[in-house]
Amino acid sequence: MSDKGKQKFFPALTGVRALAAILVFATHAGYILAASAGAGVQRYFNELSIGLPMFFVLTGFLITVRYYDNFEFTMKWAKKYWISRAARLYPMYFIFTAAAFIYWYSDRGNQSAIIGDANHPWFTLFLNFTFLRGFFDNLKFTGVGQGWSITVDVLFYVITPVVFWLVKKKKFFYWQPLVYLPLGYLLVFIFKNFDWFGFMGNIVFMLYYTFFGRCFEIFFGMWLALNYHKIKLNPKIKVTYIGFVLMFVCVYFFSLIPLGPNEAFGIKTYTGMILDTVLLTPAIILFFLGLIREETVMQKVLSNKFVELLSNASFLFYLIHLGFINNFLHEGINWLNDWTFAFYDKHGLDWHSPFEYDQLNIFYVFFGLLAISVAIYKFIEEPLNKRIKDFLWKRSGGAHAVKKHAEVEQTVVLSDEK
């Protein structure tokens, strides 16, 4: 396939976002799902955070596929690109971040984690609304706690024009991560002795939580975007399944890594982060390559229209799968359980409640979160995203720009990443 004829739309990769979001949820719910299993199974569920590396690889791939061929190293191109990213990412992030702090304000005693250091609430608010909290170890889980990972994507979005220029004009691709990683070490060396909310405060934080350590995953995704059409595959060997199985073999390896007194996850150890780079990320690449190039049952499943809908709502699911909405669902289930037993007592019944089992309740929460995510996507995010894009394009170039933007959006039918 020539560069000119490269495919631009990958339904199965759109479906991957739903799979990755489910794996992230399974990681956070693993202590409930595997509560009655042995220690080995519990540890395995605890290491299912491979959904996050999948998201980062997918970000590098989709951004490169969508924007690289038409890249121009001009402020006009960069402005259009940043508008597109901001309109897709920021509205829902802003709404749920604001809601999280309102939730904290209404229940300060039980929600202190949302604000972090209560002596500096406005500083924490500022860091959350600007995505900067992802650079502060002590505040990374404030606001929408899991949103720390968005800082990794945002920094990549900001420097994408430079990254593309270095690749396209200077043929400087493979060495870029070897520049960003030492830069991360340098920042840690400079700031490790400053007591400023853990800003770039230690190496583990830098490697696991910031772009400087996660850039390899993003650049692996970029590499796949630039080369997927050139790679020769043996039709007798399905790399889709090889990559998929290898990802979960990696989870097993993570579960075998000995943990120190302050360590909870094997993937966050130095050994785990090395395995992430040299084994897990290539396995993800194989899985994605197979979904792009091979016809398999898994490709058909992930290309399903319903899965595509779940994938479009996956960013929202990611934002709400922990936090106040998750809490409300759990509280609602507890209320239903109490109401059910009160009903039984009133009528002299001695039955089990469908809401008394934690392992079953987590599925109620899961499907509730999915339903809420899809509803918000269809009725709020999707129309709001279109309105914001039209407004920003109109401000930047008048009615002609809005028309041109609509034509581009129809021509480039690739779904946005998370």
Sign of CA dihedral 263, 268, 273, 279: positive
What tens digit of pLDDT does each residue of 357-379 get?
A: 998 999 999 999 999 999 999 99
Q: Are 233 and 291 in contact (CB under 8 A)?
A: no
What tens digit of pLDDT does each residue of 152-183 get?
A: 999 999 999 999 999 988 888 888 999 999 99
Rounded Cα distance, 308 and 416, in Å: 11
Write b or e for each residue in 271-285: b if 16 or more Cβ atoms lie within 10 A of its Cβ, otherwise e.
ebbebbbebbbebbb
Out of 94-98, 119-123, 159-163, 375-379, least confident range: 119-123
What tens digit of pLDDT does each residue of 189-225 get?
A: 999 888 889 999 899 999 999 999 999 999 999 999 9
Q: For position 269, what pLDDT does the model report? A: 92
Q: For position 260, what pLDDT does the model report? A: 86
Rounded Cα distance, 165 and 171, in Å: 9
Does the pLDDT at position 310 exceed 70? Answer: yes
What tens digit of pLDDT does each residue of 226-257 get?
A: 999 999 999 889 999 999 999 999 999 999 99
Confidence of residue 140 (pLDDT cuts 50, 70, 90): very high
Distance from CA of residue 123 to its chain's centroid?
25
- Render 169-186 in DSSP notation, one character per residue: TT---TTSHHHHHHHHHH
Q: For position 1, what pLDDT does the model report? A: 42
Q: Mean pLDDT, to the nearest integer, of 255-262?
A: 90
Q: Mean pLDDT, to the nearest integer, of 410-416?
A: 41
Beta-ladder partners of 199: 136
Confidence of residue 6 (pLDDT cuts 50, 70, 90): low
